[in-house]
């Protein structure tokens, strides 16, 4: 992103310039000069922009791939286990559905916010790009803050461990700390190789797993519906407790209207829908990104919401409420046991393992591109390395950075509090980013931000943006509220531990910005000016050159 910040006396004037413009002419001039041979005329010709002029050959994602990036990211293990957790919080089947519908509303509002940003700023990076656009002062500080989160969070650690556990169960091996982590390591390495060296195959595998997951879940939903209406061959085994969850009395029986229970349930439901932003992280590789994101994100989330609601109907049609609340067994396992017999448990483990593989592929694909975007911005050490698409026409360096952090977390985080802490720490920053971008979108509608000329092809309803903003206030505040007795997240750590560390990482980002962009330049008598160069593959990236302050004064 060619965003200069405070590099010259005309920077304040440039703040009023429209940012939604193409850099085609500037990029063409850079190409004629050469990727690393930066001339003064090329630097001054560089307009500030958030539109990405990557070559068409790099845009390999169509509508289906963008949809499955989102669907695979959202649907992991939650669809198989979360309904039982939500039921414990809600107290009744009816309140469970109310919470899932409210969660779908939050997801719809979030999807609208990300579609608006995706159509207005159609390039990779997701929250990074959007926060840079909104929060421009001090220049590059928000990028440095995001960089520490983007690089040093092991986003796929938990999913890899879950894959290891279910794979071993499917193979009839007893899961231990060592063999689970070994399988998790092999899974992560496989995903790195696939996405880092075999881009087309990786996309096809990712899409295939997404389609498989969707078909299986729809078959589960249909089976549950057949059981509910009494289709022969779809009856609960006589040896199991017969469900009776859909009469008016039993539907609402035991409803828990306590504030703490509602907050806990909604917190879990909202996180179950997280992932609607996943295609935004890779928009620079999407064909016709504005048109595609307007269709892909809503379609994917419609499928997600339909799957969640229909799967809940299926579970409650086949499994009694008492069994669901019994604990120790996930609802999906109870469903398969009641309808098809206990022998199908290993089949379920295979299904969940493949679901997690699709989830891991989707996470690594997009988060690797976030690291690449940070490299293209020039704020990371060895930025040219992270920005590169060498040697396999894929962001292998960015993918490897995400892989390495995730593997380290997987291998060295001990079980119990430490691992749960890592999972919560990975999630909390996303609530903060969503809070900042939804609040920032509201600011873009106001008069003080009129000079930004924000006029994207798609506009979310303002009330939807406000609703999404408030939902993220909720997600940011809840972890700071003392939990009720018996519902503490950790055994030995304070309940707010992950919040404190997440905020500390953000503070370290501010320190990094101050040292690199303020203290060192001022101490050595120069300022940093960001200019654009073009890599050998035709992809533009930003670099910083030192401009002596004394020579400017002369």
Rounded Cα distance, 68 and 326, in Å: 34
Q: What does the pLDDT look like over 210-246, one tens digit per residue?
A: 999 999 999 999 999 999 998 988 888 888 889 999 9
CATH number at residue 171: 1.20.1740.10
Rounded Cα distance, 22 and 143, in Å: 22
Contact 325, 233 (CB under 8 A): no
- Residue 540 domain-assigned? no
Q: Evaluate if residue 328 carries a pLDDT over 50.
A: yes
Q: What does the pLDDT look like over 384-441, one tens digit per residue?
A: 888 888 888 889 999 999 999 889 888 887 777 777 777 788 888 999 999 999 999 9
Maximum alpha-carbon separation in the chain: 92
- Residue 543 domain-assigned? no
The count of structural domains within the chain is 1
- Residue 12 domain-assigned? no
User: To 10 degrees, what angle do helices 141-152 and 396-412 make?
Assistant: 60
Of all residues in the chain, what percent carry a pLDDT higher than 90?
A: 44
Look over the chain and give the mean of its residue pLDDT values, rounded to a whole number.
84
For residue 138, the surrounding DSSP H or E stretch is none
Confidence (pLDDT) at 159: 85
Residues 28-54 have a mean pLDDT of 43
Q: What does the pLDDT look like over 295-305, one tens digit per residue?
A: 999 999 999 99
Contact 12, 451 (CB under 8 A): no
Q: Evaluate if residue 451 carries a pLDDT over 70.
A: yes
Q: How many CB atoms lie within 10 A of CB 325?
A: 12
- Residue 26 domain-assigned? no
Rounded Cα distance, 273 and 331, in Å: 18
Q: What does the pLDDT look like over 454-485, one tens digit per residue?
A: 999 999 999 999 999 999 999 899 888 887 77
Contact 469, 435 (CB under 8 A): yes
- Residue 306 domain-assigned? yes
Which is more confident, 87 or 153? 87
Residue 339 structural domain? 51-524
Q: Evaluate if residue 38 carries a pLDDT over 60.
A: no
- Residue 482 domain-assigned? yes
Output the pTM of the full model. 0.85
- Residue 89 domain-assigned? yes
Residue 483 neighbours by CB under 8 Å, 6+ apart = 260, 489, 495
Q: pLDDT grade, residue 108 (50/70/90)? A: very high
Residues 127-138 have a mean pLDDT of 91
- Residue 535 domain-assigned? no
């Amino acid at each position: 992103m060619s965003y200069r910040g405070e590099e010259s006396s005309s920077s304040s004037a440039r703040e009023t310039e429209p940012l939604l413009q193409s850099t085609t002419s500037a990029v063409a001039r850079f190409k004629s000069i050469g990727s690393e041979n930066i001339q003064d005329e090329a630097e001054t010709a560089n307009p500030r922009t958030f539109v990405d002029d990557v070559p068409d050959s790099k845009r390999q994602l169509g509508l289906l791939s963008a949809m499955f990036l989102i669907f695979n990211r959202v649907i992991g293990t939650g669809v198989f286990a979360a309904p039982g957790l939500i039921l414990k919080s809600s107290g009744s089947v009816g309140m469970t559905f109310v919470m899932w519908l409210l969660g779908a509303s939050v997801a719809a509002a979030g999807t609208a916010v990300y579609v608006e940003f995706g159509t207005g700023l159609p390039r990779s990076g997701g929250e990074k790009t959007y926060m840079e656009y909104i929060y421009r002062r001090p220049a590059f500080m928000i990028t440095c803050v995001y960089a520490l989160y983007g690089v040093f969070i092991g986003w796929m650690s938990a999913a890899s461990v879950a894959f290891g556990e279910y794979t071993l169960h499917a193979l009839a091996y007893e899961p231990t700390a060592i063999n689970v982590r070994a399988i998790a390591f092999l899974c992560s390495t496989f995903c790195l190789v696939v996405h880092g060296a075999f881009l087309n195959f990786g996309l096809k595998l990712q899409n295939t797993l997404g389609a498989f997951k969707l078909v299986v879940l729809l078959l589960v939903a249909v089976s549950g519906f057949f059981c509910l209406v009494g289709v022969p061959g779809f009856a609960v085994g006589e040896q199991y407790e017969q469900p009776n969850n859909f009469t008016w009395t039993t539907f609402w029986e035991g409803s828990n209207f306590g504030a703490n229970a509602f907050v806990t349930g909604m917190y879990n439901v909202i996180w179950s829908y997280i992932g609607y932003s996943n295609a935004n992280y890779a928009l620079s590789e999407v064909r016709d990104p504005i048109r595609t994101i307007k269709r892909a994100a809503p379609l994917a989330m419609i499928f997600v919401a339909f799957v969640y609601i229909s799967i809940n109907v299926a579970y409650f049609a086949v499994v009694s409420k008492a069994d669901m609340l019994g604990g120790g067994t996930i609802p999906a396992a109870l469903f398969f046991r009641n309808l098809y017999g206990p022998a199908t448990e290993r089949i379920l483990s295979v299904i969940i393992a493949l679901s997690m593989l699709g989830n891991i592929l989707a996470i690594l694909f997009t988060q690797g591109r976030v690291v690449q975007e940070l490299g293209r911005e020039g704020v990371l050490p060895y930025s040219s390395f992270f920005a590169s698409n060498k040697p396999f026409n894929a962001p292998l360096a960015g993918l490897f950075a995400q892989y390495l952090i995730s593997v380290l977390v997987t291998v060295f985080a001990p079980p119990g509090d430490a691992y749960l802490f890592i999972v919560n720490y990975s999630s909390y920053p996303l609530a903060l980013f969503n809070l900042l971008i939804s609040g920032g979108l509201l600011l873009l509608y106001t008069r003080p931000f009129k000079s930004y000329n924000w006029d994207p092809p798609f506009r979310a309803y303002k009330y939807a943006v406000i609703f999404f903003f408030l939902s993220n206030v909720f997600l940011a505040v809840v972890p700071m509220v003392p939990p009720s007795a018996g519902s503490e997240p950790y055994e030995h750590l304070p309940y707010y531990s992950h919040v404190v560390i997440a905020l500390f990482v953000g503070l370290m980002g501010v320190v990094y910005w101050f040292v690199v962009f303020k203290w060192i330049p001022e101490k050595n008598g120069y300022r940093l000016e960001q200019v654009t160069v073009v890599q050998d593959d035709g992809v533009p990236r930003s670099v910083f050159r030192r401009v002596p302050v004394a020579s400017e004064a002369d």
